[in-house]
Structure formats: structure tokens, C-alpha cells
Amino acid sequence: MNFKNFILSICVLVFACFLLAYGETGFNLDHDLILQLRLPKVVVCLLAGGMLATAGLLMQIFFQNPLAGPDILGVSSGSSLFVAFWMMASVGFSQTIIDAGMGLMSFMGAATVFILLIFFVHKNVSRVTLIIIGLLISSFASSGISVLVSTSQALQLKNYLMWSMGSFRDVTNPELPKFIILSLISTLPVLFFIKSLNQFLLSENYAKSMGVNVKKMRLIFISLAALQISIITVFCGPVGFIGIISPHLAKQFLKRSRLNILLPAAFLIGALLAFIAETVLVLAPSSSISINAILGMIGAPVIVLYLYRQREWSV
């Protein structure tokens, strides 16, 4: 294992142990408390943060765009729009149907946006244009959500608003195995394609010249990223910034871009960011800050700093 990745792993482990031992009630090692509340939270932070970072990295490689990410390119928004529609429309259905529908709608939302983005990539739009398209998709999704909100009942509205704030705390013990299995299914396959991804990292044409089945790989990347984002959207709500900033922080930290080192580093940094946000919430229990507000405060300056450093980056 790379030494820097080892350091990151230690940091993740320290945060995980801290959040298992310390909560709003202080240092309390009550068995029930740890198993019912803290363990699911720690597992979700680890996997959701890591998955967001992985999805962000995949998108940045696939779109050859350093500003690509689930939130910037509108994938999270598309997923949220479909979930919001389902939340408002599924009144009166049984809980099992509501839960199944949430997952399906979230995936459909993410996949729909991906398909749209791929269409534009095939039309050879520039990187900046692609980001503008992503922002427009987000704007469209926000408008759609506004329409849904204006026609919904107070209780559904409240449920939706709470969900849209994002949270790593809303996965319960019975749901946890499902979340872990889905996370592994969507993340582990990425490891098998590291070689092809490395070739994609240089350029799509290079990958093609090295014998990579570009069409097939593209489909695999998109499906995996869409699956990862939809899993997070269903279980945690829309979570911003981790997807876009983790790969950059990993590159800055490692000073290398080979994926067999970069991918684990991005995953660990994603998890670390999730742990940091959750730690803030634990240390400020009386505040009503949402996880997205904390991540926004960390993420936005990082993106601005990146753009400043890359100011020669042209349209």
C-alpha cells in the first residue's frame, strides 16, 4: 500500500473510532447506542463518502472534465427530481412499494441525466459547455421540484425538505446490510477496470488504440456511477461537493494520477470529508446545520482555489 494512502486510512480509522465512541451524549460506550445509532452512521459515512468520491472520479475521467461531479453535472439533481416526484406521488401506497419506487426512480433520474450528457459529449461540446448544460439540468430539476412542492401537502413537503438537506444518519440497522451490499456491488467492479480507466485517463482515443472496447467501457462507467449516485440519493438524500472535490484533493495530496493509487485515495478522502461533516454535527448538537451546508463551506472554496490555480484553462 502506498504510504500516503496508509496515512489516509489511519485518519479514516481515527475518525471512525471517534464517532463510534463519542456522540451527542459525550463519551458513552452503551452497547445499544453504538449498535443502533453510531455504527450505521459510521458505516454510511465511510461508504457514501467513498462512493461519491469514486463516482466523481469516474465522471471526471469519462467526461475528461476536471469540474465534472454528480452535483455540478446535474446527476444528483436529476435523481432528486425523480425521487421528489415519487415522494409526492406515492401517497397512500404501502411502505414496501414506496421504498422500492424510491430506489428505481433515483436510478432512473441519474441514468436519464447521464444519457443526456453522453448525447452532448457525442456532439463534441466543449468542457465548459458541458458544465453549463449540467447547471441547466440542475436548474430544470429545481424548477420541476418547485412545481411539485407547490402542489404537495404540508406533510409531504416537510418530508421532502428534510430529505433534501441530506443526512448520513437516516440509514437504520435493518436497512444497513442492503446499503452495504448495494455499495459494494457498485464500487468493487471499478477495481477490475483500473487498467482501462488509466488508459481513459490519457484520452479516449489512446484507450481505443490500446484495444479497449470504448463503447462497452463507457456503458460500464456510466452504469456504475449512476448506480452509486442513486444509492446515495435514496439512502442519504442529495449530498453535494464530496464527488467533485475528493478527486482533486487526492491528486494534490498524492501528486500522482495513476488510478491504482488515486482511486483508493479519493475514496478515503471522500469518507474523511463525510466524517468531518458528521463530527461538526456531533460537536454542535443544538445547531440546525445540515450536512450539505457544512460540505458547501468546505467544497466551494476548494473549487474556487482549483479554478484559480488552473486559470490558464480555456474554453
Partner 1 sequence: MKTVLFFFLFGLSSSLLAAECDLKHPVKTFQPRFAKHYAINYFKNFKTVRVGSSQYLLSSNSSIGCETSMNKIIIPAKRVVMMSTTYLPTLELIQREDTLIGFQGKQYIVSSSFNHDKIRDVSFKFNPEDLLNLKADLIMGYDSNLSNPAQVHIFKSLNLPVVMNKDFEETSPLGRAEWIIFIASFYDLEDKAQKIFNMISDKYAFIKNENSKLPKRPKVLVGEIQNGYWVTSGGKSDLGQMIADAGGEMLFWKPSMQTQKISLEELSLLKIPVDVWLTHNTWTSRKQLEEARRKDSRYSLITIKNIFNNNSIINKHNSNDYWETGMQRPDLLLQDLSALFHPDKYVSHKLHWYHKL
Binding site for partner 1 (CB under 8 A): 23-25, 28, 30, 32-33, 36-37, 41, 91-92, 94-95, 150-151, 153-155, 158-159, 162-163, 165, 167-170, 172-175, 237, 285, 288
CB of 73 to partner 1, least distance (A): 25
Q: Which is nearer to partner 1, 23 or 69 (CB)?
A: 23
Element (H, E) at 22: strand 22-23
CB of 94 to partner 1, least distance (A): 8
CB of 83 to partner 1, least distance (A): 14
Positive or negative, the Cα torsion across 211, 214, 216, 221? positive
CB of 135 to partner 1, least distance (A): 25
CB of 91 to partner 1, least distance (A): 6
CB of 41 to partner 1, least distance (A): 7
Q: Which is nearer to partner 1, 64 or 164 (CB)?
A: 164
CB of 26 to partner 1, least distance (A): 9
Q: Which is nearer to partner 1, 164 or 257 (CB)?
A: 164
Q: Which is nearer to partner 1, 30 or 203 (CB)?
A: 30
Number of residues written out for the chain: 315
Alpha-carbon dihedral of residues 67, 73, 79, 82, nearest 10 degrees? Answer: 160
The three three-digit cell numbers of residue 107, written as one number? 436510478
The three three-digit cell numbers of residue 223, written as one number? 452504469
Pairwise CA distance, residues 265 & 314, whole Å: 28
Alpha-carbon dihedral of residues 103, 105, 106, 112, nearest 10 degrees? Answer: 140
Crossing angle of helices 75-89/127-150, nearest 10°? 10
- Other C-beta atoms lying within 10 Å of the C-beta of residue 17: 11
Q: Burial-class residue 265 by CB neighbours within 10 Å (0-12, 13-18, 19+).
A: buried
Q: Which is nearer to partner 1, 37 or 298 (CB)?
A: 37
Helix and strand numbers, DSSP H then E, in the chain: 14, 2
Q: Which is nearer to partner 1, 87 or 259 (CB)?
A: 87
Element (H, E) at 315: none
Q: Which is nearer to partner 1, 5 or 167 (CB)?
A: 167
End-to-end CA distance of the chain: give it in Å, rounded: 38
